[in-house]
Structure 1
Amino acid sequence: MSDNTEGFLSDQLSRSTPIFGLRLWIVLGISVGTAFVLVLFLIALWLMISKPNKSTCSTSKDNKSTSQISSTYPMHEIRIDKSKEPKNHKEVKSHIASNPLLELELVGKVENGALLKEDSSLVGVRKVQVEVSHLGWGHWYTLKELEEATKGFDDDRVIGEGGYGIVYLGHLKNNTKVAIKNLLNNRGQAEREFKVEVEAIGRVRHKNLVRLLGYCVEGDHRMLVYEYMDNGNLEQWLHGEVGPYSPVTWEARMNIIIGTAKGLTYLHEGLEPKVVHRDVKSSNILLDKQWTSKVSDFGLAKLLGSERSYVTTRVMGTFGYVAPEYASTGMLNEQSDVYSFGILIMEIISGRNPVDFTRPPGEVNLVDWLKTMVSNRNAEGVLDPKLRDKPSARSLKRSLLVAIKCVDPDPQKRPKMGQVIHMLEIDDFPFREGRQAEGNNSKHANDGMK
């Protein structure tokens, strides 16, 4: 009987099936194997779903490190003291402003100091997203920090004022002195100046450019924080009350000229896109204790790509320093800065303002007066009367010739800033090149210095 049964089962298992003509025992084997794999998959899925806390904890550090690398909304875990929970947006912003990692119940996402949304469902441990720097550089200062640094933006802390902002002396908690530029509440222009200044100079590091340390963006407030310069600006020393003799010697003045030239050369030739400052003037040249000059205030700067020789824009700048072709056509390039730099050299040498309506008619315009003096072979007559020590004839002629070349009416004949540095630093420049006439004005000036 058993032999008959076994034979029967063997026949049944060996018979063909409609599934691709496979034998029955093969189909049964495939079915069992598939069922086994499916069971294993379901078990694995159940294990993953049943342990979310472990998964979250294991990935939180990875998420944190990733966010720090990408500089995008770093996450911080903050332990809660429920009794100290902020009651409104203002309190939340205040807590974050004083310390983003304070052990308080901080709720929501903060972007540039402004609360965007709340999530009251979080308890125990809250995760707060703080955008430390969407610009990717520098330090993000809170409004509270800068208010404390300036004693509430006290008038006694004002160290400079301009068309677009007020500059305050600030003392940070680590006793570092800083200059804080508070842009005026002119939303359109203030916002544009803020962005231009940050884009133009935020990442730049050069000995002769004022370093931008960081910024503050809260609500309508836009502030820029710079390194503090102990000796103020050049305009104060040239035109302020300094007594019968200026403490800025001829040697110091030449160092200021060359340092400024090096800063502008870096902007024009060392960056891509190049930066055209557009407002080179004595009040924007800051000085340290050693009279090292640093170009500042890039609020009017323009970025100019290498593929463009000029850009047409609305005429901006300071009366007396603006290049004539820029004033008449709005066509701007680095030669516009070269012209302004030539005016600056004349101002440093003579101690006169670029335009002074209090002087006799022939002396109102600094460029015309200086060219006339030089062509009349009276180069020493242009010297600042407050200079105690007189320069050598060679040094004076060299600096005057460079200034005259920089203000050539034809922008194509003006030297580049890199060439200006070379001309200022070589001793034989006036005698080797001074005889090469470049237009009538340059020829007269050169003849006057022979």
Structure 2
Amino acid sequence: MDCFSVNYFLRINCGGKEVKVDDKGTTYEADDEPGGPSKFVQRTRVLKDFNIENEAGGVNKAIFRNFTAAVTANTVEIRLYWAGKGTTGIPDRGVYGPLISAISVDADFPVPSENGNSMSTGAIVGIIIAVLFTILLILGILWWKGCLGSKDTIGQDLKGLDLHTGSFSLRQIKAATNNFDPANKIGEGGFGPVYKGLLSDGTTIAVKQLSSKSKQGNREFVNEIGMISALQHPHLVKLHGCCIEGNQLLLVYEYMENNSLARALFGPKEYQLKLDWPTRHKICIGIARGLAYLHEESRLKIVHRDIKATNVLLDKNFNPKISDFGLAKLDEEDNTHISTRIAGTFGYMAPEYAMRGYLTDKADVYSFGVVLLEIVVGRSNSSIRPKEIPSIFLANSFKAKGKLMELVDPRLESNFNKKEVIATINVALHCTNAEAAERPSMSAVVRILEGREHVQGFVPDSSVSLDEMRTKEIMSQDQVTKSNDDQS
């Protein structure tokens, strides 16, 4: 039998409950109360006092009659009943039974369509094939966009890396963070939320959870593990390990008690920390040492691409550590640049990189110069209000007027080393030179900040006016916005 066909049955009822007919011709079942509502649905009587022997002209002769019936609820019934005769003992013994001994029906009768809307087997098969094709097409598109198999891809990518980091199970991470309890959330970045956790051995950790399902987020996850697992330095955040399990992508770092430099300097007032000048100066030197290691001392020469106050973390002793290597790039050849997709944060990006995608380690130097100014001024360069002038422009303007001390964060009052502050501002201006070739190396910056080398007073290129620099910043913002739109 075809598995797609609909089954039809013909049933002939020659028995069952006794059916009575009253004097008005109404039929009802014997157990119904006379005069009450009948359970028996009335049928159409097609023959009465039918004598098959007379109609057939003898016995053992077939007779054919056609009757048209309206079929409802997929059921047709044929009932044969007798209004009087039917026993063999009343009133006298004899034969009073039915004259019909059998009814034969051709089992291969044609089945009418239901309401004219029934589909053929071929049509049903065609629909099923079309549905399966559509499902396969959708799965193919999802796979092509990276929505399927991303975790397996990440696993394959990690197998090819020489990782110097550990692996954690999801059960360990959930136990450490109390199943990602919101009370343990300590931050939120572009990568995703960050939770404080406590391992079974008593080690306090920070767990970064990938929230984006995009292919870009997956690439950053792999990139971060590959980069930071190969780096060890006192001013780079330490990666304990990762977890790739189920739908979770997790990075496990050392816990930094004082959170980020951004929150300490210009976060909500309840989170701001009182950072005196010696502490700020120590933070400046620490960041510079970390970048000098990435650019010049590490076996892998790396451009971070996203140096900003948010990505500088502070431990319990306010030692700074650079974090978030999701956008980092290898600088594989000296004295050359990398042409790459623009990614980063507005307010920290070097002009040549923001506008042309021209990337060298000098892009990090520029970003570091912005962070230096933020530390001195105590104000973010990327979240300024529309009428406020960015710190870079203020510094250049105030230097030209000989009023550099007016830049200093009022919270420091007069409790700072004037010579160190002036040197720090001059280094920041030198690092944010519009010409990349004029920016110093990070090792030179370390020597200057430590007082081992003198910094020449930096004067901006006279060919680059303040208005032109602001125009470049606006163009940079537009370029970054367009790049981000292209990624989404």
TM-score, scaled to structure 2: 0.60
8 A contact 1:246–1:388 mirrored in 2 = no
How far apart, CA to CA, are the structure 2 residues paired with 1:159 and 1:440? 45
Deviations 1:300-343 (A, max 9, x none): 11112135622111111111001111000011111000000000
Establish whether residue 177 from structure 1 lines up as the match of residue 199 from structure 2: no
Residue 437 (structure 2) pairs with residue 422 (structure 1): no
Quick one: distance in 2 between partners of 1:177 and 1:244? Answer: 20
Matched residue, 1:341: 368
Structure 2 SS opposite 1:368 = helix
Which has more helix, going by share of residues?
A: 1
Q: How many angstroms does 1:439 deviate by?
A: 2.6
Residue 146 in 1 paired to residue 168 in 2? no
Contact (CA 8 Å) 2:163, 2:229: kept in 1 or not?
no
Q: Is the 8 A contact 2:187 2:195 kept in 1?
A: yes
Number of aligned residues: 312
Q: What is the rounded CA distance, in whole Å, between the counterparts of 1:337 and 1:147 in structure 2?
A: 36
The aligned residue for residue 377 of structure 1 is 402
2:410 match: secondary structure:
coil
1:134 Cα shift? 7.5
RMSD: 2.8
Change (3 A) 1:135 1:392: closer
Alignment partner, residue 232 of structure 2: 205
Asked whether the 8 Å contact 1:187–1:220 carries over to 2, the reply is no
Question: Is the CA contact 1:272–1:306 (under 8 Å) kept in the aligned structure 2?
Answer: no
Query: 1:167 and 2:194 equivalent?
Result: yes
Q: 1:147 to 1:322 in 2, by over 3 A?
A: same
Q: Distance in 2 between matches of 1:442 and 1:384?
A: 27
Q: Aligned in 2, Cα 1:403/1:172: closer, same or farther, shift over 3 Å?
A: same
Q: 1:246 to 1:229 in 2, by over 3 A?
A: closer
Q: State the distance in 2 between where 1:307 and 1:276 align.
A: 12
Alignment match, 1:248: 275
Residue 408 (str. 1) matches residue 433 (str. 2): yes
- Residues 427, 391 of structure 1: alpha-carbon distance in 2 compared, 3 angstrom cutoff: farther
* 1:366, distance to aligned residue in structure 2 (A): 1.7
The CA distance in 2 between the partners of 1:356 and 1:369, in whole Å, is: 15
What is the identity, as a one-letter code, of the residue corresponding to 1:247?
K
Tell me how far apart the structure 2 counterparts of residues 201 and 172 of structure 1 sit (CA, whole Å): 21
Specify whether residues 137 and 312 from structure 1 end up closer, same or farther in structure 2 by C-alpha distance, changes over 3 A only: same
Corresponding residue of 2:311: 284
The code of the aligned residue for 1:309 comes to T
User: What is the distance in 1 between the residues matched to 2:442 and 2:162?
Assistant: 30
1:133–1:139 contact (8 Å) kept in structure 2: no
Q: Aligned residue for 1:394?
A: 419
Report whether the alignment pairs 1:214 with 2:241. Answer: yes
- 1:185, 1:220 within 8 Å by CA — same for their partners in 2? no
The amino acid that maps onto 1:225 is: V
Task: Find 2:461's aligned residue among 428, 433, 439.
Answer: 439
Q: Give the CA deviation at 1:203.
A: 2.2
Larger deviation: 419-428 or 325-334? 419-428
5+ residue gaps, structure 1, are: 1-112, 115-130, 445-450
Compared with structure 1, are the counterparts of its residues 326 and 221 closer, same or farther at alpha carbon in structure 2 (3 Å cutoff)? same
Instruction: Give the % identical residues.
Output: 36
Partner amino acid, structure 2, of 1:176: T
SS in 2 for 1:386: helix
CA distance in 1, matches of 2:211, 2:268: 28
Residues 443 and 380 of structure 1, relative CA distance in 2, 3 Å threshold: farther
Contact 1:267–1:276 (8 Å) recurs in 2: yes
Residue of structure 1 in register with 2:338 after alignment: 311
Aligned to 2:462, the other structure's residue is in SS state helix
1:256-275: CA deviations, max 9, x gaps?
Answer: 00000000111111223311
1:301 and 1:135 map into 2 onto residues whose CA distance is 17
Whether the aligned pair in 2 keeps the contact of 1:286 and 1:293 (CA below 8 Å) is: yes
> CA–CA distance in 1 between the matches of 2:273 and 2:462?
34
- Give the Å deviation of 1:175: 1.6
1:142 & 1:243 partners in 2: Cα distance? 35
SS at the partner of 2:207? strand
Q: Equivalent residue for 1:364?
A: 389
228 and 191 in structure 1: CA distance in 2 versus 1, 3 angstrom threshold: same
**Contact conserved, 1:356 with 1:364, CA < 8 A, in 2?**
no
8 Å contact kept, 1:273–1:306: no
SS of alignment partner, residue 180 of structure 1: strand
How far 1:174 sits from its partner (Å)?
1.1
1:228–1:195 CA distance, 2 compared to 1 (3 A)? same
d(CA) in 2 for partners of 1:154 and 1:233? 21
Find the residue that maps to 1:169 and give its secondary structure. strand
Specify whether residues 359 and 210 from structure 1 end up closer, same or farther in structure 2 by C-alpha distance, changes over 3 A only.
Answer: same
Once the two structures are superposed, the pairs formed by residues 18-37 of structure 1 within 5 Å of their partners are: none
Aligned equivalent of 2:265, options 238, 241, 245:
238
**TM-score normalised by the chain length of structure 1:** 0.65
Question: Which 5+ residue runs of structure 2 have no aligned equivalent?
Answer: 1-150, 153-157, 467-488
Query: What secondary structure is seen at the aligned counterpart in 2 of 1:179?
Result: strand
Aligned partners of 1:211, 1:245: CA distance in 2, in Å?
A: 24
Is the CA contact 2:264–2:271 (under 8 Å) kept in the aligned structure 1? no
Aligned with residue 256 of structure 2, among 216, 229, 244: 229
Judged with a 3 Å threshold, the aligned counterparts in structure 2 of structure 1 residues 246 and 359 are, in CA distance, closer, same or farther, namely farther
Please give the per-residue CA displacement for 1:176-202, whole angstroms capped at 9, x wherever unaligned: 110011112424122201111011111
Gap change, CA 1:398 and 1:304, over 3 Å in 2: same
Alpha-carbon distance in 1 for matches of 2:382, 2:245: 40
In the TM superposition, what is the alpha-carbon distance from 1:156 to its structure 2 partner? Answer: 1.3
SS at match of 1:289: coil
Separation in 2, partners of 1:443, 1:324? 14
Kept in 2, the 8 Å contact 1:323–1:340? The answer is: yes
In the alignment, the residues of structure 1 paired with residue 273 and residue 170 of structure 2 have an alpha-carbon distance, to the nearest angstrom, of 39
Cα drift, residue 218 of structure 1: 1.4
Give, in whole Å, the separation in 2 of the partners of 1:262 and 1:309: 23
